[in-house]
Structure 1
Amino acid sequence: MARSQGMMVKLPPGFRFHPTDEELVVEYLKRKAFSFPLPASVIPEIQISRFDPWDLPGGSERERYFFSAREIKYRNGKRPNRASIAGYWKATGKDKQIVAKGGNQIVGAKKTLVFYRGKAPAGERTDWIMHEYRLAGALQEQPLTREWVLCRIFRKRRSSTRTTDRADLVDSEAGSDAEPSCVTEINGEAGDGDDSCCSSR
């Protein structure tokens, strides 16, 4: 069983956390937002704006997942705060709708952001990428005491051309939908028919 110590999260040896977009929204973000029990304690809670991506808990060699309370930039506005200590996150492309399996119900949305070092709008683009998940559709309309987002942060692979860079980013986005289970064995073998987010052989 995974366990959390402060902000550091550890999975049992031989396992990795690799959820689909739908699993992140339905099994984790929805449960967090409505104070339901989570399937496993594998996603820590932090305030994203207090960290630069290379200083986030968990090490920079792999993708990391965090719950973060949505921050508003101005008290009387609705714009989210995208600034951090040494730079800022900038949205790129269109938001992707996340639809529940077995129906056409929209349950969430995924926004892709790139981290820039320095002051906006003249910051220097980096290789750090964030996928920010939020509730959408009927789930978004229900009253909440606090608005949460779920963030997946990783460092994009470097490549020689801009075209290849864009392809890498698309591949990384598509990869979050490729696996049928949140936690799988590192050697890629599937469990014995267990579809839960935290399964073992």
Structure 2
Amino acid sequence: MDKFKFVRNGMIRLPPGFRFQPTDEELVFQYLRCKVFSCPLPASIIPEINVCMYDPWDLPGNLEQERYFFSNKESKYRNGNRANRATSSGYWKATGADKKIVSSRRNHIVGKKKTLVFYRGKSPHVSKTDWVMHEYCLVNAETTASIHATENALTPKGNWVLCRVFSKKRSGKMDEEIVVNYNSIKVNNNANPASSSSSCSSSSGITEVTSPSEECGEEISSCPKF
């Protein structure tokens, strides 16, 4: 799928009918892992951008949808590990505990997800916004590479993370619309039972897409396997 370039001018543009809705495991295992070790990606669909150079509403892409970016995490201080997450209008603040991402095949921890909320302004005059970011990173990428080293040993390239940015307000609105649409379908089906069978027969127009984890699995020989 690499021959299809879905990123244009920093924006994801998929063909009509396609949706990019990867799981946490797919984001870490199929995309971030390949990015870190410079392996072929399943699809060239996630742009590279320094997320903290922009306010969340200025990031490229559709504000009504979730947006995904590869970003090189920068340190706030030269000799420290604390990440710099300040933007021109505010900063991203971590909230809650990090979530471990586990490989469903090997039952190993392959990454972690950090949840951050955007605060507008500067301390002490700040206000919490509805913007949320999920930041994915590999766990012990160097150790993983050394354990599964081949004759051409692979080493991590850059301090890459994968970011999912979205507005919580918009996400709640979408969930509300789904519930409304689902209820209307139930009402219509109760009114006309035959519509249920007819809707099933018309489902042939929906294309089934195989999950990257099922299709590719761990067959990428050039990448370290988790």
TM range (shorter): 0.7 to 0.9
* Structure whose residues are more often helix by fraction: 2
Query: Is contact 1:96–1:111 with CA below 8 Å preserved after alignment?
Result: yes
| Cα shift at 1:27 | 0.4
Residue identity matched to 2:41: L
Q: What are the within-5 Å matches in structure 2 for residues 114-193 of structure 1? A: 114-120=117-123, 122-137=125-140, 139-141=141-143, 142=145, 143-157=155-169, 191=208
Q: Does 1:51 align with 2:63?
A: no
TM norm structure 2: 0.69
Q: Is the contact between residue 2 and residue 9 of structure 1 (CA under 8 Å) also seen in structure 2?
A: no
Match for 1:76 among 64, 68, 79?
79
Unmatched 5+ residue regions in structure 2? 146-154, 176-205, 216-226
Task: Report SS of the residue matched to 2:25.
Answer: helix
The residue that corresponds to 2:13 in the other structure is 10
Report Cα offsets for 1:54-103 as digits up to 9, x if no partner. 00000211110000001100111110001011000000000000000123
- Mapped contact 2:30–2:212 kept (Cα < 8 A): no
C-alpha separation between the residues in 2 aligned to 1:49 and 1:58?
15
Q: How does 1:16-95 map to 2 (within 5 A)?
A: 16-95=19-98
Q: Secondary structure at the match of 1:157?
A: helix
Q: Do the aligned partners of 2:74 and 2:84 also contact (CA within 8 Å) in 1?
A: yes
Alignment partners' CA distance in 2, 1:196 and 1:78: 33
| 1:94-109 to 2 correspondences below 5 Å | 94-109=97-112
Q: Normalization by structure 1: what TM-score?
A: 0.77
Backbone CA RMSD of aligned residues:
2.4
Offset from partner CA, 1:119-163 (integer Å, 9 cap, x none): 1354210000000000014x353442311000000000279xxxx
Shift of 1:190: 6.2
Query: Which structure has the higher relative contact order (CA within 8 Å, separation 6+)?
Result: 1
Structure 1 or 2: more strand by fraction: 1
Distance, in Å, in 2 between the alignment partners of 1:121 and 1:103 is: 46
Structure 1: runs of 5 or more not aligned: 169-188
Offset, 1:6: 3.5
Deviates more, 1:72-81 or 1:116-125: 116-125
Aligned match of 2:211 in 188, 191, 195? 195
Equivalenced residues, count: 170
